[in-house]
Amino acid sequence: MTTVVRAATRASPLARWQTDRVGALLGRLGVVVEPVVVSTLGDERLDLPIHAMGGKGVFVTEVQRALLDGRADIAVHSMKDLPSITEEGLTLAAVPERGDVRDALVGARFLDLAPGASVATGSIRRRAQLAALRPDLVFSELRGNIATRLAKAADFDAIVMAAAAIDRLGVNPGVWEALPVEVLLPQVGQGALAVECRSDDPATAALLARIDDTEAHRLTDAERSFLATLGGDCDLPAASHATADSPGGPITLRSLLAAEDGSVVLRDERVGDDGVAMGAAAAGALLDAGGRALLQA
C-alpha cells in the first residue's frame, strides 16, 4: 500500500524544488508526497523589507499553520527562514543533506566593485558585513523570488543571494562569485532544508528520521542555538556557521553579531563537541563583548 504524505510548501520555484527534493528522498521509501501550496506574508508583501515585517517567520508561519490545522502532514522550509525556537506543537524531524552555505555576488566579482558601487540585498546580515569591508558601497533593498531578483540585477552593480538557490534552480546569472565564508559569514541554517511534522505524530517523525542527515542536523543545531540564545530572532545582523572535519568530530563554530551599518562587527570562534552548548556560549560571549549594547541602542 502506497503511503501518501501531504507537504505544506510555499509557491516559489525554489520552495517547490525543496519540496520536490524531500519528495524524491521519501519516494525512495515508497512514499508519495502531495504538495499543499501556501501563501505567506513574506510572499505577499514585497513592498516591505523582511526585517520591517518581523524578520524570521514571515516565510514560515502560514506554512506551519497548514501543518498544525491538519491540512498537511509535513512542512518543508528553507532552514534559514525558520525561527530558531521551534513552534509549539511541531518537531524539526529532518534536515536532509545540506547544499552550498555561501552567499553569492551576482553582476560583478567582489574585488571588481568600483568605489561607490550599488549593491542590492534584502538581508541586513549581508549588508552589515559588506559595509564593514567596503564602507563606500551604496545599498538598496531587494525582494522577490529568484527570477525576480535576477531580473532586477541589471539595475545595480551587483546583487547578493544564496549560492544554493543558483545551484538548485540551475540558473545562469552571468558574472557571479560565491563569496568565501571568511568574507561573508552565512546566515544560520543557510543551504539546509528543514522538515517539520506535528509533535503528536510519531509515525511521520519516524518516517522523516529516515531522510535525516545527522551531520547536517547536528551542525545546524549548533547554529540555531546561537540565534536562540540571542533572543530567538535577534533584530541585529547575526550569523553563525558550524563545520566539522569528519562526521561526528569536533565542531568549529564561527559566529558574528554586528551593527546594521557595519561600523561594529563582533566575532567569535570556538571548537568543541557539544554544538548546542557552543552556540549558546558564543552568543553569550558576543553579547558580553558589546552585543548587548548594540541591542539596547
Residue 175: which residues within 8 A CB-CB, separation 6 or more?
106, 107, 108, 109
Grid coordinates representing 135 are 564602507
222 φ, ψ to 5°? -65, -45
Please pick, among 20, 43, 69, 81, the residue that the annotation labels catalytic: 81
Contacts of 42 (CB under 8 A, 6+ apart): 50, 53, 58, 59, 81
C-alpha cell at 184: 561573508
Instruction: Respond yes or no: is residue 81 known to be catalytic.
Output: yes
- Give the residue numbers marked as catalytic: 81
